[in-house]
Amino acid sequence: MHHNGNEEGDDAIAIAARDDIDAFAPLYERYAGPIYRWMYRETGDVDAANDLTAQVFAQALQNLHRYQPRQSSSFRSWLFTIARNLLRDSWRRYRPTSLPLHLVDHRPGPEDLAIHRTEMDEIRATFALLPERQREIVELRLSGLSIREIAEIQGTSESAVKMAQTRAFKTLRAHLNEGVVR
Amino acid sequence: MTDHELNELKHRVEGAHRAFPGAYAPAADVWQRARSQVSSNQKREEPIMSMTPTYSIPSTAGRINTGRNSNGLSRFVSMAATLAIVGVLAFGGWFAATNLPPNDGQQLALVQATPTAAMSCDVESLTVDEVMLIVKNPYAYFTTYVDSITHPQKELFELPYRPTAFEFEMGERTKPAEDDFNAALAAAETYLDCLPTATWGQLWALSDPFWVQYRILTQFPVFATEAEVEQYVTSTIDQPLATDHNPVDDVFALLEGQSISVNPDIDDAKTIWPGGWSGSLQPIIEFGIQVTDDSGQIVVKIDSEGNYEEWQPGSSRQRPRILVGQSMTSGEWFVIPWSASFWMGLEY
């Protein structure tokens, strides 16, 4: 795998953080946002998303000694695997609250806020139409992961990820508003 | 998908997050919350059972040596009627309101409280080694039943670790072929007859290996060591299904004075998901169920789409269905239990 600068830096930070938790802070700054937003899209709830994000990083910190930098893997894929597993494990506690497309929430409030709230609902409801694996691929792509990293996380081949991604975007194109995913 | 499409979607999604208070970045205290959860004494040196492909699974050759896998494909085709496996779809839960505990929103599986004489379970339990093999790679488990794999996605069977990947595509629902219907029906009936008296090992033997993997791994926090999983499997495999833990989703509902069976009308069954299930099961046949009272009268009868053909006042208004799939490699029929947590991509 061709690591970019960030990924090489990730490994060094992760190794240093085994003995000094505070050394992990740059990795938190780098990845907390994408993970939080993924959790938010899955749960539709700020508190749940914050809680899950905290758990992801707590799990990562607790298991740093298990992370072994390898040529075929990356810290990022390892971290997002934790997020994915925790999300699955927490599913029953944080049941999604997104609505079907025809029941999109039009709660009152500033007009622009209402518009974006509807947009978020639409995004979440559309993602919910995807089978789990396809949705994971979309979420991980949105979080910046490569096809190869996703294949590592899902334990499958890159070609299988590409195929599932193609199917996922076909579904998204069919359901999201025109101009969103052309 | 092009990079442009991905970027366009990213742009829209990020915009939606930024526009909604609290939806873009975690709260300021999240890092401290994570940090405070870390305890130095929680480090463990054992390998972990996670969804990461970090495992080298033991060679299946010579390790699993039960009667179930000794004769390859032909044996399992012939075993379809006797070892066939069925899934109970408690989609939305279903119960006879007067007999069951309050529905708090969890899924309910139907099992008769008092098994009839005809209800017994002589299905051979999986061994601990077989269950562990499933946990590590359900695909590898399939390969123990065949001499050679000609599956179009052969690579899936050879990966060192295969995480759960539930994948299917919707498609036209069609009437099943008669042979498939008969084999799947026998499997469904075996499963329902087994549930009241089965052990977990028997239940796992009747269930889709992907579901077995999922069900076992979700008993743990995010990480579990192989030793912990094996300990759980060893301690559970011979236990009867507890009344507070059903195979579907944690609530084991009991029916008193009523009998549950598979809707036996071929016109009420449908073959679904023409692309198969997770690259492993095809065809998939969905059945409705029927419930009869003490007098033998059918009080509820549901087709594979959840439509009522019979419904007596006072009976359930839920719509359980049973899903059965045939291994594309071994020919064996397996249950695909249906639960909200298993069907993560659908339950919205």
Which among B1, B25, B38 has the least Cβ separation from residue A36? B25
In this predicted structure, what is the pLDDT of residue A99? 30
In this predicted structure, what is the pLDDT of residue A18? 83
Does A43 reach chain B within 8 Å, measured CB to CB?
no
Q: Which residues of chain A make contact with B159, given a CB cutoff of 8 A?
A: 155-156
CA distance B101 to B121: 26
Does A174 reach chain B within 8 Å, measured CB to CB?
no
DSSP for A73-96 reads --HHHHHHHHHHHHHHHTTTTS--
Residues in contact with B28: Cβ distance below 8 Å, sequence separation at least 6, in sequence order: none
Q: Which residue has the tokens 């085709």?
A: B77
In this predicted structure, what is the pLDDT of residue B260? 77
- Strand B321-327 to strand B281-292: parallel, antiparallel, or no bridges (unpaired)? antiparallel
In this predicted structure, what is the pLDDT of residue B217? 77
| Closest CA of chain A from B252, distance in Å | 17
In the stretch 111-170 of chain B, residues with CB closer than 8 A to chain A read 153, 155-156, 159, 161-163, 165-169
In this predicted structure, what is the pLDDT of residue B104? 32
DSSP A22: G
In this predicted structure, what is the pLDDT of residue A84? 84
CA distance A96 to A41: 9
C-beta separation of B246 from B320 below 8 A: no
CA distance A147 to A136: 12
Task: Count other C-beta atoms under 10 Å from residue B73's C-beta.
Answer: 16
C-beta separation of A59 from A79 below 8 A: no
C-beta separation of B26 from A33 below 8 A: yes
Q: Under DSSP, is residue A51 helix (H, G, I), strand (E, B) or coil?
A: helix
In this predicted structure, what is the pLDDT of residue A140? 94
In this predicted structure, what is the pLDDT of residue B139? 77
Q: Record the tokens describing residue B60, joined without a space.
A: 């299946």
CA distance B195 to B312: 25
CA distance B271 to B283: 7
- ipTM associated with this complex: 0.81
CA distance A22 to B138: 39
In this predicted structure, what is the pLDDT of residue A82? 86
| pLDDT means over runs of 10, chain B (348 residues) | 83 89 90 79 48 26 26 27 28 28 36 58 92 84 63 58 58 90 94 82 90 77 75 90 46 57 91 78 88 81 80 61 86 74 29
The HSE-up count of residue A166 (CA atoms within 13 Å, CB side) is 6
In this predicted structure, what is the pLDDT of residue B178? 95
Q: Record the tokens describing residue A51, joined without a space.
A: 């809680």
Q: What is the mean pLDDT of chain A?
A: 76
**Among A137, A142, A144, which Cα is nearest to A10's?**
A144
CA distance A131 to B170: 10
B-interface mutation test, from A20, A22, A86, A89, most B Cβ less than 10 A away: A89
Angle at the Cα of A98 (from B213 to B168), degrees rounded to 5? 40
- Strand B270-272 to strand B281-292: parallel, antiparallel, or no bridges (unpaired)? antiparallel
Q: Which residues of chain A have pLDDT under 50?
A: 1-5, 92-116, 179-182
**Among B136, B153, B133, which Cα is nearest to B145's?**
B133
Does B25 reach chain A within 8 Å, measured CB to CB?
yes
CA distance B202 to A171: 39
In this predicted structure, what is the pLDDT of residue B269? 94
In this predicted structure, what is the pLDDT of residue B334? 93
Task: Please report the number of interchain residue pairs, chain A to chain B, with beta-carbon separation below 8 angstroms.
Answer: 188
Q: Which residues of chain B make contact with A58, given a CB cutoff of 8 A?
A: 33-35, 37-38
**Among B186, B213, B182, which Cα is nearest to B342's?**
B213
Q: Which residue has the tokens 């009869």?
A: B292
Q: Which residue has the tokens 């990213």?
A: B10
